Amino acid sequence: MIVLDDVTFGYRRKKPLYAGLNLTLEPGSVYGLLGPNGAGKSTLLRLLAGLLYPQQGQIRAGDLVPGDRKPAFLEELFLVPEEFYLPPVRIRQFVDSNAPFYPRFSHAQMTGYLREFGLTDEQKLNELSYGQKKKVLIGFGLATNTALLLMDEPTNGLDIPSKSQFRRLVAGAVDERRTVVISTHQVRDLEALIDPVIILAERDGRMTVALKASVEEITTQLWFGMLPTLDVARPLLFSERAVGGYAVVAENPTGEPSRLDLERLFNAVQAHPDRIRTLFSSPSTVTAL
């Protein structure tokens, strides 16, 4: 379990990006971390990885503090960054050099991931495209079988078939001990994969967790659908013109079933973060500030 307790962090001391941030991440889930540009999604992943340090508050991964960077934590963490450098060596050499740092690394899994992505371990990393390099890094991260796997914009640079492969491989690599956090702008790419959903929004000049909920909780509280005209009797949180009427996100007091639309949910949260917090306020929903 990962716990952020009253965390404050900012790159400028008098202007914190986060202040009083509280969040709990449970194992066995693929969390989708969504937020507007500049919301600090990458920063939050680096705080979780211990690459940045809270100015106030504490982050714990079980009994360990990420910022201490102890071997017991590092061997259970892998971060796939959005921007990265890979050395000019063959994939096989890269794997052989880095796998020993991860006690649960599976060479058989890595071979399977490379095959799935159409790669071989004899290929040189410096001769691969950006998307191919990202596939190597994603495959390696999955094969580490670490308890905490962080991915920052992992589908950037992947073509449509590769995005489908990514979803399938990540879903197959999650077990009851593993926590996966994926930061993304490409919500359509991951709609069928991430659950629960975490959405950041601004409040009083600082970023907060405006929503943390499972897909089931979201579709219980909110209704996603099409209306021929805007129904003033239905409390709307978001609407946009679409072919045949309006695509809307509305409050759902009767529990009417619908299918989650992540992009429209994101827009609804940005438009009405306080109302979203109220709708989802419960012991299982964690917010900040």
Nearest to 133 by CA among 83, 182, 173, 78: 83
Q: Where are the domains of the chain?
A: 2-195, 214-279
What does pLDDT average to in each consecutive run of 10 residues of the chain (289 residues)? 94 86 94 90 96 95 95 97 93 97 97 95 95 96 98 92 93 94 88 92 87 95 93 86 93 92 94 92 43
Q: Would you give the distance in Å from CA 155 to the centre of its chain? A: 11
Give domain 2-195's CATH architecture: 3-Layer(aba) Sandwich (3.40)
End-to-end CA distance of the chain: give it in Å, rounded: 21
pLDDT of the residue at 286: 36
pLDDT of the residue at 284: 38
Nearest to 128 by CA among 90, 99, 170: 90
Rg (CA), the chain: 20
pLDDT of the residue at 5: 95
